[in-house]
Amino acid sequence: MQTFQAGQRAALANLTPHTTLTLRARISGPAPEYDLMLFGLDAGGQLSDDRYMVFFNQPHSPEGALSMQSGGRGEKVFTLDLARLPATVRRLTLAATVDEGAFSAIDHAEVTLGGRDGPLLTFRVTGRDFQAQKAVMLLDVYFKDVWRVGAVGQGFNGGLEALVKHFGGEVKQTPLGRAPAPPPLPETPPPPAPPSLSLQKITLDKPGQSTRLSLRKSGQQEPIHVNLNWDRGRSLMRAGADLDLGCMYLMNDGERGVIQALGNHFGSDRFGPYILLDKDDRTGAASDGENLVIYRPDLIHTVLVFAFIYEGTSDFTRVNGRLTLKDPGGNEITVKLSNPDMRRVFCAIASVENIGGEIKVTKEERYFHGHSECDEHYGFGFQWRAGNK
């Protein structure tokens, strides 16, 4: 795999004979969200057909030659089938925008172009490459006699609007991806008020205390979002505590495994066990901590959510750790690490069990010297070996 620098270009045929490609892009930074999008432009570099702007609210081009989906670790994955593109689309530009902050604050943005035989090239930029820009063009795949690829890295101070204008388009005065509300029909009575919701916000204070969430019977997926957060910058810690979120799981079909950053076992939202860890926050710089999503709780038997201290502090007494579980209905369960053990650096925080169509969440808060000792207590039966990041 080649590493491209800004401005570097190459004929696609020198990298792969195939025209079906993937673009994987991931941005690491302090903003709550970075939007990634793929512009399908004409030979003049203009967005002459806005159906070829592929982004979160329009994830496919009309014929399906371009598509976008989420990947592991917060990636966005764009699939490109150049042979299926209409002759009016001759340039594909991968770009990113941010609403809060600027690209000077990012740690890095990385794009990997892949083919049928694996990764072909990678291109990486950091915050030092930008100033106040709120949008950036990252990579081009374009036709000039033959299909070519080029690393860009060009920013725009005006963000999304400046970027779209650069391509000859126009931004409507509505948030990205939200169409303006249609005018009401004449003599149409107002819609009935939505039913009130009874949302739960529960704190599990003592080990063994539990609560339950119902799974819908409609067959819809009801993911459970698990967030681990902790205090940063405490005087007794070094530059930042590196706490790692993970889980041991047992599925209803007998499959079992471990999701954690150690060993790069981040899981997947598209394949079994349908459990995904979003990132490894090694510095404590991410305000949203680390997040684990159980996309198919209807398929699980037991998930044991754990945290362990990789480095940066000696024990859990110094970090004020807390775990929050949320479901799409707005229910929220908080588990605080209220009885930290100064001698141990591994904590089994909570168990999540599927019992008769209900999800039972139980506070565990049991401390161990490591993974193996925890596994021995709960009986998952794994074989453990030393690992590092």
User: pLDDT tens for residues 221-246?
Assistant: 679 999 988 775 543 344 456 788 99
Continuous segment of H or E residues that includes residue 37: strand 34-41
Rounded-to-10 torsion of CA 224, 58, 118, 281: -40
Provide the pLDDT for residue 361: 92
Structural domain ending residue among the three candidates 138, 167, 196: 167
Can you give the CATH number for the domain in which 341 is found? 2.60.60.30
Assigned token pair, 336: 């605080």
Write the DSSP symbol of residue 216: P
**pLDDT by residue (tens digit) across 71-114?**
766 788 999 999 999 999 999 999 998 888 888 888 888 999 99
CA distance 151 to 6: 5
Q: Which range has the worst mean pLDDT, 43-47, 299-303, 363-367, 373-377?
A: 43-47
Question: Does residue 244 share a domain with residue 351?
Answer: yes
| Residue 162, CA atoms < 13 Å, CB-side half-sphere | 15
Question: Does residue 72 share a domain with residue 219?
Answer: no
Closest by alpha carbon to 225, among 357, 336, 346, 323? 323
Question: Does residue 139 share a domain with residue 7?
Answer: yes
Question: Does residue 62 share a domain with residue 143?
Answer: yes
Question: Does residue 101 share a domain with residue 218?
Answer: no
By three-state DSSP, how is residue 104 classified? helix
Q: Is the dihedral of CA 82, 84, 90, 94 positive or negative?
A: negative
Residue 296 lies in a domain: yes
Provide the pLDDT for residue 335: 92
Residue 301 lies in a domain: yes
Structural domain ending residue among the three candidates 167, 182, 198: 167
By three-state DSSP, how is residue 291 classified? strand
Question: Does residue 285 share a domain with residue 227?
Answer: yes
Number of domains the chain is built from: 2
Residue 14 lies in a domain: yes
Question: Does residue 223 share a domain with residue 131?
Answer: no
Question: Does residue 373 share a domain with residue 254?
Answer: yes
User: Which one-letter amino acid corresponds to residue 27?
Assistant: I
Question: Does residue 218 share a domain with residue 95?
Answer: no
- In sequence order, the β-bridge partners of residue 201 are 332
CA distance 309 to 288: 17
Question: Does residue 252 share a domain with residue 345?
Answer: yes
Assigned token pair, 292: 């684990």
DSSP assignment of 105-131, as one string?
G-SEEEEEEEETTEEEEEEEEEGGG-S
**pLDDT by residue (tens digit) across 121-162?**
999 988 888 888 888 999 999 999 899 999 998 888 777 878
What residues make up the domain containing 232? 209-378
DSSP assignment of 158-177, as one string?
TTHHHHHHHTT----SS-TT
31 vs 35 pLDDT, higher one? 35
